[in-house]
Amino acid sequence: MSYVAVRIAVHDPATAAERRQNAAHGASRGSVPGTMQAPKGRKQTPHLQILAGPCAARMLATCLVLSFALIACARQKSPDTPQTVSSTLLPATMNSDDPAPKPSINSSRAMQYVRDVVAFGPRPIGSPNHKKLETYITSHLKGVPVEDDAFIAETPEGKFPVRNIIAKFPGTRDGIIVIAGHYDTNYPLRNTGYVGANDGGSSTAILLELANQLRGKKRDGYSVWLLWTDGEEAVKQWSATDSLYGTRHLAEKWQKDGTLKKIKAFLLTDMIGDADLNIEQDMNSTPWLENVVLQAATRLGYQSHFFGRSIPVEDDHLPFVHMGVPSADLIDLDYGYNNVFHHTPQDTLDKLSPQSLEIVGSVLMETVRLLDKM
Protein backbone atom coordinates (compact mmCIF):
# COMPACT_ATOMS: atom_id res chain seq x y z
CA MET A 1 0.00 0.00 0.00
CA SER A 2 0.97 3.59 -0.28
CA TYR A 3 0.02 6.70 1.53
CA VAL A 4 0.54 10.34 2.33
CA ALA A 5 0.59 10.92 6.06
CA VAL A 6 -1.19 14.04 7.17
CA ARG A 7 -1.79 14.84 10.76
CA ILE A 8 -5.20 16.30 11.23
CA ALA A 9 -5.15 19.31 13.47
CA VAL A 10 -8.38 18.50 15.22
CA HIS A 11 -7.00 15.91 17.54
CA ASP A 12 -4.35 15.48 20.16
CA PRO A 13 -1.00 16.07 18.42
CA ALA A 14 0.40 12.82 19.82
CA THR A 15 -1.42 9.51 19.83
CA ALA A 16 -0.94 7.22 22.79
CA ALA A 17 1.33 5.09 20.64
CA GLU A 18 3.43 8.04 19.62
CA ARG A 19 3.77 9.08 23.20
CA ARG A 20 4.98 5.57 24.00
CA GLN A 21 7.34 5.66 21.05
CA ASN A 22 8.61 9.09 21.87
CA ALA A 23 9.29 8.00 25.40
CA ALA A 24 11.19 5.00 24.13
CA HIS A 25 13.18 6.85 21.50
CA GLY A 26 13.56 10.22 23.12
CA ALA A 27 12.39 11.92 19.96
CA SER A 28 9.44 14.00 18.97
CA ARG A 29 7.65 12.86 15.91
CA GLY A 30 6.38 16.35 15.30
CA SER A 31 9.89 17.72 15.15
CA VAL A 32 11.12 15.57 12.28
CA PRO A 33 8.75 16.10 9.37
CA GLY A 34 9.80 15.15 5.87
CA THR A 35 12.20 12.44 6.97
CA MET A 36 10.41 9.35 5.71
CA GLN A 37 12.30 7.33 3.16
CA ALA A 38 10.37 5.81 0.30
CA PRO A 39 11.02 2.08 0.47
CA LYS A 40 12.13 0.44 -2.72
CA GLY A 41 9.20 -0.66 -4.77
CA ARG A 42 6.71 1.48 -2.95
CA LYS A 43 5.64 4.97 -3.78
CA GLN A 44 5.56 7.19 -0.78
CA THR A 45 5.42 10.91 -0.63
CA PRO A 46 7.30 12.53 2.22
CA HIS A 47 5.80 12.22 5.64
CA LEU A 48 3.91 15.44 6.09
CA GLN A 49 2.54 16.82 9.25
CA ILE A 50 0.18 19.66 9.85
CA LEU A 51 0.06 20.51 13.50
CA ALA A 52 -2.52 22.57 15.30
CA GLY A 53 -3.76 25.91 14.15
CA PRO A 54 -6.52 27.39 12.05
CA CYS A 55 -6.80 26.71 8.35
CA ALA A 56 -5.17 30.03 7.50
CA ALA A 57 -1.90 28.86 8.98
CA ARG A 58 -1.90 25.87 6.67
CA MET A 59 -2.03 28.01 3.56
CA LEU A 60 1.74 28.10 3.76
CA ALA A 61 1.86 24.42 2.98
CA THR A 62 2.28 23.01 -0.48
CA CYS A 63 -0.61 22.52 -2.87
CA LEU A 64 -0.49 18.81 -2.20
CA VAL A 65 -0.83 19.35 1.48
CA LEU A 66 -3.49 21.96 0.92
CA SER A 67 -5.95 19.54 -0.57
CA PHE A 68 -5.70 17.31 2.46
CA ALA A 69 -5.69 20.27 4.80
CA LEU A 70 -9.04 21.33 3.40
CA ILE A 71 -10.40 17.91 4.15
CA ALA A 72 -9.04 18.29 7.63
CA CYS A 73 -10.76 21.63 7.97
CA ALA A 74 -14.03 20.14 6.85
CA ARG A 75 -13.84 17.68 9.69
CA GLN A 76 -12.97 20.33 12.20
CA LYS A 77 -15.73 21.79 14.29
CA SER A 78 -13.66 24.62 15.70
CA PRO A 79 -9.92 25.16 15.66
CA ASP A 80 -10.13 26.07 19.33
CA THR A 81 -11.86 22.88 20.35
CA PRO A 82 -9.42 19.98 20.41
CA GLN A 83 -11.23 16.84 19.39
CA THR A 84 -10.11 13.36 18.59
CA VAL A 85 -10.73 11.92 15.17
CA SER A 86 -12.25 8.96 16.95
CA SER A 87 -14.82 11.07 18.70
CA THR A 88 -15.85 12.76 15.45
CA LEU A 89 -16.49 9.32 13.97
CA LEU A 90 -18.21 7.72 16.89
CA PRO A 91 -22.00 7.87 16.66
CA ALA A 92 -23.57 9.34 19.75
CA THR A 93 -26.26 6.68 19.81
CA MET A 94 -24.09 3.62 20.33
CA ASN A 95 -25.93 1.05 22.41
CA SER A 96 -23.68 0.04 25.27
CA ASP A 97 -26.29 -2.35 26.70
CA ASP A 98 -26.08 -4.84 23.83
CA PRO A 99 -26.25 -8.24 25.56
CA ALA A 100 -24.66 -10.18 22.67
CA PRO A 101 -21.56 -12.18 23.64
CA LYS A 102 -18.31 -10.50 22.71
CA PRO A 103 -16.49 -12.38 19.96
CA SER A 104 -12.91 -13.54 20.24
CA ILE A 105 -10.53 -15.62 18.16
CA ASN A 106 -7.83 -18.17 18.94
CA SER A 107 -4.93 -15.74 18.75
CA SER A 108 -2.21 -18.30 19.54
CA ARG A 109 -3.42 -20.39 16.62
CA ALA A 110 -3.47 -17.26 14.44
CA MET A 111 0.10 -16.49 15.51
CA GLN A 112 1.12 -20.03 14.62
CA TYR A 113 -0.26 -19.43 11.12
CA VAL A 114 2.00 -16.38 10.83
CA ARG A 115 4.98 -18.52 11.87
CA ASP A 116 4.08 -21.19 9.33
CA VAL A 117 3.65 -18.62 6.57
CA VAL A 118 6.93 -16.86 7.37
CA ALA A 119 8.72 -20.22 7.39
CA PHE A 120 8.12 -20.47 3.63
CA GLY A 121 10.48 -17.53 3.19
CA PRO A 122 9.92 -14.71 0.66
CA ARG A 123 6.60 -15.24 -1.16
CA PRO A 124 6.51 -12.85 -4.13
CA ILE A 125 4.24 -13.55 -7.08
CA GLY A 126 5.57 -16.16 -9.46
CA SER A 127 7.84 -17.82 -6.86
CA PRO A 128 7.87 -21.46 -5.72
CA ASN A 129 7.29 -20.26 -2.13
CA HIS A 130 4.19 -18.44 -3.28
CA LYS A 131 2.93 -21.68 -4.80
CA LYS A 132 3.57 -23.50 -1.50
CA LEU A 133 1.62 -20.86 0.35
CA GLU A 134 -1.33 -21.20 -2.04
CA THR A 135 -1.43 -24.91 -1.19
CA TYR A 136 -1.08 -24.12 2.53
CA ILE A 137 -4.06 -21.73 2.42
CA THR A 138 -6.35 -24.05 0.48
CA SER A 139 -5.36 -27.03 2.66
CA HIS A 140 -6.78 -25.11 5.63
CA LEU A 141 -10.09 -24.57 3.84
CA LYS A 142 -11.19 -28.19 3.49
CA GLY A 143 -14.96 -28.50 3.59
CA VAL A 144 -15.45 -24.85 2.63
CA PRO A 145 -16.55 -23.80 -0.88
CA VAL A 146 -13.50 -22.14 -2.42
CA GLU A 147 -13.39 -20.15 -5.63
CA ASP A 148 -10.26 -19.15 -7.49
CA ASP A 149 -9.74 -16.02 -9.51
CA ALA A 150 -6.56 -16.98 -11.35
CA PHE A 151 -5.13 -15.08 -14.30
CA ILE A 152 -1.89 -13.89 -15.85
CA ALA A 153 -0.90 -10.33 -14.98
CA GLU A 154 1.15 -8.13 -17.27
CA THR A 155 3.71 -6.32 -15.15
CA PRO A 156 6.81 -4.16 -15.78
CA GLU A 157 8.86 -7.31 -15.06
CA GLY A 158 6.89 -9.54 -17.42
CA LYS A 159 3.97 -11.91 -17.04
CA PHE A 160 3.11 -13.46 -13.67
CA PRO A 161 0.42 -15.85 -12.51
CA VAL A 162 -1.87 -14.19 -9.96
CA ARG A 163 -4.44 -16.07 -7.90
CA ASN A 164 -7.07 -14.62 -5.59
CA ILE A 165 -8.53 -17.26 -3.27
CA ILE A 166 -12.10 -16.84 -2.03
CA ALA A 167 -13.69 -18.97 0.74
CA LYS A 168 -17.47 -18.64 0.99
CA PHE A 169 -19.58 -18.92 4.14
CA PRO A 170 -23.23 -18.56 3.15
CA GLY A 171 -25.69 -16.60 5.28
CA THR A 172 -29.46 -16.28 5.46
CA ARG A 173 -29.52 -12.64 4.36
CA ASP A 174 -29.20 -11.42 0.80
CA GLY A 175 -25.83 -9.74 0.46
CA ILE A 176 -22.13 -10.38 1.00
CA ILE A 177 -19.53 -9.06 3.42
CA VAL A 178 -16.01 -9.53 2.06
CA ILE A 179 -13.06 -9.70 4.46
CA ALA A 180 -9.80 -9.49 2.53
CA GLY A 181 -6.04 -9.41 2.97
CA HIS A 182 -3.07 -10.01 0.70
CA TYR A 183 -0.77 -13.02 0.90
CA ASP A 184 1.96 -12.12 -1.60
CA THR A 185 5.13 -10.44 -0.32
CA ASN A 186 7.10 -7.56 -1.74
CA TYR A 187 8.67 -8.48 -5.11
CA PRO A 188 11.62 -6.03 -5.28
CA LEU A 189 12.85 -7.31 -1.88
CA ARG A 190 12.65 -10.96 -2.89
CA ASN A 191 16.41 -11.56 -2.67
CA THR A 192 17.03 -9.69 0.58
CA GLY A 193 15.74 -12.26 3.04
CA TYR A 194 12.54 -10.25 3.40
CA VAL A 195 9.78 -12.47 4.82
CA GLY A 196 6.94 -9.98 5.36
CA ALA A 197 5.80 -11.30 8.76
CA ASN A 198 3.47 -8.33 9.16
CA ASP A 199 3.08 -7.23 5.52
CA GLY A 200 1.56 -10.32 3.93
CA GLY A 201 1.95 -12.73 6.85
CA SER A 202 -0.46 -11.21 9.37
CA SER A 203 -3.26 -10.71 6.84
CA THR A 204 -2.91 -14.28 5.55
CA ALA A 205 -3.06 -15.63 9.09
CA ILE A 206 -5.99 -13.60 10.38
CA LEU A 207 -8.13 -14.79 7.47
CA LEU A 208 -7.19 -18.41 8.17
CA GLU A 209 -8.26 -17.97 11.79
CA LEU A 210 -11.51 -16.25 10.74
CA ALA A 211 -12.20 -19.28 8.55
CA ASN A 212 -11.94 -21.43 11.70
CA GLN A 213 -14.41 -19.15 13.46
CA LEU A 214 -16.90 -19.26 10.60
CA ARG A 215 -16.58 -22.91 9.63
CA GLY A 216 -19.51 -25.18 10.42
CA LYS A 217 -21.65 -22.44 11.98
CA LYS A 218 -24.99 -21.34 10.62
CA ARG A 219 -24.76 -17.68 9.67
CA ASP A 220 -27.87 -15.72 10.53
CA GLY A 221 -26.88 -12.70 8.49
CA TYR A 222 -25.05 -11.80 5.30
CA SER A 223 -22.81 -14.28 3.54
CA VAL A 224 -19.17 -13.79 4.49
CA TRP A 225 -16.49 -14.29 1.88
CA LEU A 226 -12.88 -14.46 2.96
CA LEU A 227 -10.59 -13.23 0.22
CA TRP A 228 -6.84 -13.85 0.11
CA THR A 229 -5.75 -11.29 -2.45
CA ASP A 230 -2.66 -11.73 -4.61
CA GLY A 231 -0.39 -9.31 -6.42
CA GLU A 232 -1.07 -6.46 -4.03
CA GLU A 233 2.56 -5.45 -4.05
CA ALA A 234 4.18 -3.45 -6.82
CA VAL A 235 6.62 -5.36 -8.99
CA LYS A 236 8.83 -2.37 -9.73
CA GLN A 237 7.48 0.98 -8.57
CA TRP A 238 4.11 1.59 -6.94
CA SER A 239 1.68 3.18 -9.39
CA ALA A 240 -1.92 2.83 -10.50
CA THR A 241 -0.86 0.15 -12.97
CA ASP A 242 1.97 -1.48 -10.98
CA SER A 243 0.09 -2.55 -7.82
CA LEU A 244 -3.15 -4.20 -6.72
CA TYR A 245 -3.04 -6.69 -9.60
CA GLY A 246 -5.38 -9.17 -7.92
CA THR A 247 -8.05 -6.81 -6.66
CA ARG A 248 -8.14 -4.73 -9.84
CA HIS A 249 -8.87 -7.93 -11.75
CA LEU A 250 -11.40 -9.24 -9.24
CA ALA A 251 -13.34 -5.98 -8.88
CA GLU A 252 -13.74 -5.84 -12.65
CA LYS A 253 -14.80 -9.48 -12.82
CA TRP A 254 -17.33 -9.04 -10.02
CA GLN A 255 -18.69 -5.94 -11.69
CA LYS A 256 -19.26 -7.84 -14.91
CA ASP A 257 -20.90 -10.88 -13.31
CA GLY A 258 -23.15 -8.86 -10.98
CA THR A 259 -21.46 -9.91 -7.73
CA LEU A 260 -20.29 -6.39 -6.94
CA LYS A 261 -23.71 -4.95 -6.28
CA LYS A 262 -24.37 -7.67 -3.69
CA ILE A 263 -21.36 -6.65 -1.61
CA LYS A 264 -22.55 -4.70 1.43
CA ALA A 265 -19.08 -4.12 2.85
CA PHE A 266 -15.46 -4.75 1.88
CA LEU A 267 -13.26 -5.03 4.98
CA LEU A 268 -9.55 -5.09 4.30
CA THR A 269 -6.77 -6.08 6.68
CA ASP A 270 -3.11 -5.30 6.08
CA MET A 271 -0.16 -5.11 8.49
CA ILE A 272 -2.31 -5.82 11.53
CA GLY A 273 0.15 -7.88 13.57
CA ASP A 274 2.36 -5.06 14.92
CA ALA A 275 2.69 -5.45 18.70
CA ASP A 276 2.26 -1.68 18.95
CA LEU A 277 -1.07 -1.66 17.17
CA ASN A 278 -2.46 1.61 15.83
CA ILE A 279 -5.02 1.15 13.09
CA GLU A 280 -5.19 4.23 10.88
CA GLN A 281 -8.31 6.12 10.02
CA ASP A 282 -7.97 5.79 6.27
CA MET A 283 -9.27 8.80 4.39
CA ASN A 284 -9.91 6.67 1.29
CA SER A 285 -12.27 4.37 3.19
CA THR A 286 -16.02 4.79 3.55
CA PRO A 287 -16.80 6.89 6.66
CA TRP A 288 -19.99 5.10 7.71
CA LEU A 289 -18.26 1.73 7.52
CA GLU A 290 -15.34 3.03 9.56
CA ASN A 291 -17.96 4.16 12.07
CA VAL A 292 -19.21 0.61 12.35
CA VAL A 293 -15.65 -0.66 12.82
CA LEU A 294 -15.12 1.91 15.56
CA GLN A 295 -18.39 0.92 17.23
CA ALA A 296 -17.20 -2.67 17.20
CA ALA A 297 -13.80 -1.74 18.62
CA THR A 298 -15.40 0.41 21.30
CA ARG A 299 -17.79 -2.31 22.42
CA LEU A 300 -14.83 -4.66 22.86
CA GLY A 301 -12.77 -2.02 24.68
CA TYR A 302 -10.15 -1.80 21.92
CA GLN A 303 -10.92 1.71 20.67
CA SER A 304 -7.56 3.12 21.80
CA HIS A 305 -5.95 1.06 19.00
CA PHE A 306 -8.13 2.64 16.32
CA PHE A 307 -8.09 5.82 14.31
CA GLY A 308 -5.65 7.94 16.28
CA ARG A 309 -4.26 9.22 13.00
CA SER A 310 -5.92 10.04 9.67
CA ILE A 311 -4.10 9.29 6.42
CA PRO A 312 -5.18 8.37 2.90
CA VAL A 313 -4.02 4.83 2.13
CA GLU A 314 -3.70 3.16 -1.24
CA ASP A 315 -4.37 -0.52 -0.76
CA ASP A 316 -6.44 -3.45 -2.04
CA HIS A 317 -9.72 -1.71 -1.20
CA LEU A 318 -9.22 1.02 -3.82
CA PRO A 319 -10.57 -0.88 -6.87
CA PHE A 320 -13.73 -1.54 -4.84
CA VAL A 321 -13.94 2.01 -3.51
CA HIS A 322 -13.74 3.28 -7.09
CA MET A 323 -16.67 1.06 -8.02
CA GLY A 324 -18.82 2.34 -5.18
CA VAL A 325 -18.46 -0.58 -2.74
CA PRO A 326 -18.44 0.54 0.92
CA SER A 327 -14.93 -0.29 2.07
CA ALA A 328 -12.71 0.04 5.13
CA ASP A 329 -8.98 -0.62 5.26
CA LEU A 330 -7.73 -1.74 8.66
CA ILE A 331 -4.02 -1.05 8.44
CA ASP A 332 -1.27 0.04 10.82
CA LEU A 333 1.25 2.05 8.85
CA ASP A 334 3.25 3.06 11.87
CA TYR A 335 5.29 -0.14 11.95
CA GLY A 336 8.32 0.62 14.08
CA TYR A 337 9.29 4.17 14.84
CA ASN A 338 8.46 6.26 11.76
CA ASN A 339 7.40 3.04 9.96
CA VAL A 340 11.02 1.88 9.67
CA PHE A 341 10.22 -1.85 9.54
CA HIS A 342 7.84 -1.52 6.59
CA HIS A 343 9.26 -3.06 3.40
CA THR A 344 12.57 -3.93 5.00
CA PRO A 345 14.08 -7.26 6.07
CA GLN A 346 13.22 -6.06 9.61
CA ASP A 347 9.61 -7.11 9.03
CA THR A 348 10.03 -10.23 11.17
CA LEU A 349 8.03 -12.29 13.67
CA ASP A 350 9.54 -10.69 16.77
CA LYS A 351 7.72 -7.41 16.00
CA LEU A 352 4.31 -9.10 16.12
CA SER A 353 1.96 -9.96 18.94
CA PRO A 354 -0.95 -12.43 19.22
CA GLN A 355 -2.84 -9.73 21.12
CA SER A 356 -2.85 -7.53 18.01
CA LEU A 357 -4.25 -10.41 15.96
CA GLU A 358 -6.88 -10.91 18.68
CA ILE A 359 -7.86 -7.23 18.57
CA VAL A 360 -8.27 -7.07 14.82
CA GLY A 361 -9.83 -10.53 14.50
CA SER A 362 -12.45 -9.94 17.16
CA VAL A 363 -13.20 -6.41 15.93
CA LEU A 364 -13.77 -7.82 12.43
CA MET A 365 -16.18 -10.42 13.79
CA GLU A 366 -18.00 -7.81 15.84
CA THR A 367 -18.16 -5.53 12.79
CA VAL A 368 -19.80 -8.34 10.82
CA ARG A 369 -22.28 -8.87 13.64
CA LEU A 370 -23.20 -5.17 13.66
CA LEU A 371 -23.53 -5.11 9.86
CA ASP A 372 -25.81 -8.15 10.02
CA LYS A 373 -28.18 -6.14 12.22
CA MET A 374 -28.19 -3.02 10.05
Indicate the residue among 38 and 144 with the shorter CB distance to Zn ion. Answer: 38
Contact status: 199 vs Zn ion (CB under 5 A): yes
Q: How far is the CB of 232 from Zn ion (least distance, A)?
A: 7
Q: Are 195 and 216 in contact (CB under 8 A)?
A: no
Nearest partner of 195 among 306, 114, 108, 303, judged by Cα: 114
Three-state DSSP at 320 gives helix
Interatomic CA distance for residues 107 and 363, integer angstroms: 13
Q: How far is the CB of 343 from Zn ion (least distance, A)?
A: 6
Contacts of 60 (CB under 8 A, 6+ apart): none
Give kind and range of the element (H or E) at residue 270: strand 263-270
Q: How far is the CB of 129 from Zn ion (least distance, A)?
A: 16
Q: How many residues does the chain have?
A: 374
Q: Which stretch binds Zn ion (CB under 5 A): 46-54, 173-181, 191-199, 364-372?
A: 191-199
Indicate the residue among 305 and 343 with the shorter CB distance to Zn ion. Answer: 343
Q: How far is the CB of 281 from Zn ion (least distance, A)?
A: 20
Q: Which amino acid is at 351?
A: K
Contacts of 110 (CB under 8 A, 6+ apart): 205, 206, 208, 209, 354, 357, 358, 361
- DSSP assignment letter at 197: I
Q: How far is the CB of 205 from Zn ion (least distance, A)?
A: 15
Q: Are 272 and 206 in contact (CB under 8 A)?
A: yes
Using CB under 5 A as the binding criterion, the count of chain residues that bind Zn ion stands at 1
Interatomic CA distance for residues 69 and 46, integer angstroms: 15
Binding mask 277-306 for Zn ion (x = CB under 5 A): ------------------------------
Q: Which stretch binds Zn ion (CB under 5 A): 7-15, 21-29, 148-156, 199-207?
A: 199-207
Indicate the residue among 199 and 372 with the shorter CB distance to Zn ion. Answer: 199
Count CA atoms closer than 13 A to 198's CA, side-chain side.
29
Q: How far is the CB of 199 from Zn ion (least distance, A)?
A: 4
Q: Which stretch binds Zn ion (CB under 5 A): 149-157, 193-201, 207-215, 237-245?
A: 193-201
Three-state DSSP at 302 gives coil
Indicate the residue among 44 and 223 with the shorter CB distance to Zn ion. Answer: 44
Binding residues for Zn ion restricted to 332-351, rule: CB under 5 A: none
Three-state DSSP at 283 gives coil
Indicate the residue among 324 and 345 with the shorter CB distance to Zn ion. Answer: 345
Indicate the residue among 329 and 372 with the shorter CB distance to Zn ion. Answer: 329
Binding residues for Zn ion restricted to 56-95, rule: CB under 5 A: none
Indicate the residue among 134 and 199 with the shorter CB distance to Zn ion. Answer: 199
Q: How far is the CB of 17 from Zn ion (least distance, A)?
A: 20
Burial 273-283 (b: 16+ CB within 10 A, else e): bbebbbbbbbb
Indicate the residue among 171 and 246 with the shorter CB distance to Zn ion. Answer: 246
Residue nearest to Zn ion (CB): 199
Binding site for Zn ion (CB under 5 A): 199
